[in-house]
Structures are given as structure tokens and as C-alpha cells.
Amino acid sequence: MNIEDYLAEKKKLVDEALRKYFSDNNPFFEVMYYSIDRGKRIRPILAIASYEANGGTKLDEILSVACGLELIHTYSLIHDDLPAMDNDDYRRGKESAHKKFGEALAVLSGDGLFAYAFELFTESETNLKQRFRVIKEVSEAVGPKGVVYGQVLDIQKHEEANPKTLRQIHLNKTAKFISLSIKVGAIMASAPDEIIKVLEKGGIYLGILFQYTDDILDVTGKKEKLGKTPRKDIFQEKLTAPRVYGLSGAKFRAQRYAALAKNTFHRLGPNFELFNEITDYVLNRTF
Ligand code: GRG
């Protein structure tokens, strides 16, 4: 199966599970689902891919955890779009949550998704030890030691194009969450710690690559294809890879991070070959 087909197949599984988690509930679930709908599902797909590569076979077990990751990711997008943060009216090819429902419901949607994610992480009573570890790892990666800190750095005014600050933003805002997604799949499949460590390292390189391509697409991408507003980083004078290294420098460094990720995943043998293909897909992505 080629990588596009693989990603489409897993995305379908995640989309179906998400629909299930947002059905038969009070009308606020529809409000939250509006923002959940239409994502690329990269993080849950990475969790599933890692679970399967590590020999996991119980799809339902990993799906609830994978969907929880997508809920947290979506909460961060909703809050990022708010007027108090990046102030963006367009997300996932439609009006962002505050534009559609007003700021109060957008804030509450984010809050609701964040809490509901942790309910999904505890969904099954089996693998209690793994689930406890997943919750600990998630809390670390998406909270003040990870995504939230990355956002704190991202919203600051950066007069200087400092490469060290750029790396801190990329690492915390994006890479730790991407790496976490791979890690939780491995934890849920009871992978040995030596493998988890290598996956985590490869995941950090892949995550930095993901943010490089995000920064590059902000310069080169089209609104319809991206589903979000391009050129916002330039307009808001954000600290991005093209600002620090120039567009061609950023593209060159993206290739270097892809090579670092692939060399790392390669150490794990043929079962993990898929991660090399995912890395190339991220390097060459157009949305
Ligand atoms: C508000 C705590 C808080 C954090 C916000 C998500 C975020 C941090 C900022 C949004 C801007 C940004 C470039 C974040 C880096 C992560 C990233 C590349 C998000 C976009 O993820 P995709 O491309 O989006 O996977 P879809 O919509 O496909 O899920």
C-alpha cells in the first residue's frame, strides 16, 4: 500500500471514531465537533502507526487514545485562533470557532475538548498501567513544559531573528506533541523502553520538520489548499524558519531534519519503515 492510501485508510478510521465520540450527546457536542471536523489527523495516525509497528493488535484500544490526541490538538487550534492570540477567522477550510459561535463558546469548546480527551484516555479498563503512563506523558507534552510554553514563546514580539528561540518554539509548540503521538502508540503496545526512546527522538526530528514545512507553507501555500490563512506569520512578524534562514535556507534545513528523522527510525528495522515514508510525506506536503 502506498503512503497516501495508508494515511487515507487510517484517517477514515479516526474520522469514524471521532464521529462516534461526538454523537448522541447534548448540543454542545455539535459545537465542539464543528472544530474537530476536517483535520488531517496526523497525530492520531502517528499513534496508530506506532502501535501497529510495535505489534499492537487491539484497534479499539489505541483508537480512543489516538482520538484523545486529536481533541487536544483541536483545542489548541481553537484557542490559537482567538482574537487574544493569533486572531484568525479561518481554519480547516471554514470559519474558525469564535467567528462561527462567538468567543465565549470557542473558549468553552477548547476547554471541553481538553477535558474530554482525558476521558477518552481512560476509556477502557484494560492496560491500566499503560493508560496511566499515557496520561502522564500527554500532560507533560501539551502543558507548560510543551505546547502551552511553545505558544507563550510564539506570541511574544521577537525583534531579533534568533535561531535558538526559533528552535525552542518549534520544539515546544509542535515537535513534543508529534513525538508524543508516536510515543503513546508504543506505550499502548507495551514496547520496550529502548525502542520508545528511539521513536521519541525520531519523533522530535519529525516534529521539527513538520513545523519547518508549516512555516514554509505559510510563505508558499494557497488558502484553499491549506484551509487556513497563508502569509499570517509574515504579517504578524512571527519568528519562523524562513525569517531566520530565508526560504531556501529553511527548505535546506527541512531536508536535513528529514534525514535525521529517517536515520533514527531506520535503526529500528523493517517494521518501522513506514515512519521513513511518513517523514518523506511530511517533507513534501503541500497542505
Ligand atoms: C493555544 C495552548 C495553545 C497552543 C496553540 C496549535 C498552536 C499552539 C498554534 C497554531 C499554529 C501552529 C503553526 C501550531 C504548530 C502546530 C501545527 C503545525 C498545527 C497545525 O497542525 P496540522 O497541520 O493541522 O496538523 P490540522 O488542521 O490538519 O489538524
* Nearest CA-CA partner of 122 in 201, 174, 170, 68: 68
Residue 107 Cβ contacting ligand 1 at under 6 Å: no
Residue 215 Cβ contacting ligand 1 at under 6 Å: no
Question: Which three three-digit cell numbers place residue 194?
Answer: 529502548
Using the predicted structure, report yes or no on whether residue 110 has a pLDDT greater than 80.
yes
Q: Whose CA is nearest to atom 13 of ligand 1?
A: 214
* Nearest CA-CA partner of 92 in 238, 233, 287, 237: 287
Using the predicted structure, report yes or no on whether residue 104 has a pLDDT greater than 80.
yes
How many Å apart are CA 92 and CA 185, to the nearest integer? 25
Helix or strand run (H / E) with residue 90: strand 90-91
Q: Please report where in the chains the cell 520538520 appears, as a residue.
A: 209
Q: Flag the least confident range among 33-37, 127-131, 183-187, 273-277.
A: 127-131
Contact 269, 200 (CB under 8 A): no
Q: Which CATH number fits domain 3-283: 1.20.58.110, 1.10.600.10, 3.40.50.300, 3.40.605.10?
A: 1.10.600.10
Using the predicted structure, report yes or no on whether residue 16 has a pLDDT greater than 90.
yes
Contact 137, 196 (CB under 8 A): no
Using the predicted structure, report yes or no on whether residue 24 has a pLDDT greater than 90.
no
Using the predicted structure, report yes or no on whether residue 46 has a pLDDT greater than 80.
yes
| Residue whose CB lies within 8 A of the most ligand 1 atoms, among 82, 214, 285, for a mutation test | 214
Using the predicted structure, report yes or no on whether residue 129 has a pLDDT greater than 90.
yes
Residue 18 Cβ contacting ligand 1 at under 6 Å: no
Residue 176 Cβ contacting ligand 1 at under 6 Å: no
Closest ligand 1 atom to 41 CA: 29
- Helices 59-81 and 147-154, packing angle to 10 deg: 20
- pTM as predicted: 0.97
How many Å apart are CA 230 and CA 37, to the nearest integer? 20
Mean pLDDT to the nearest integer, 46-58: 98
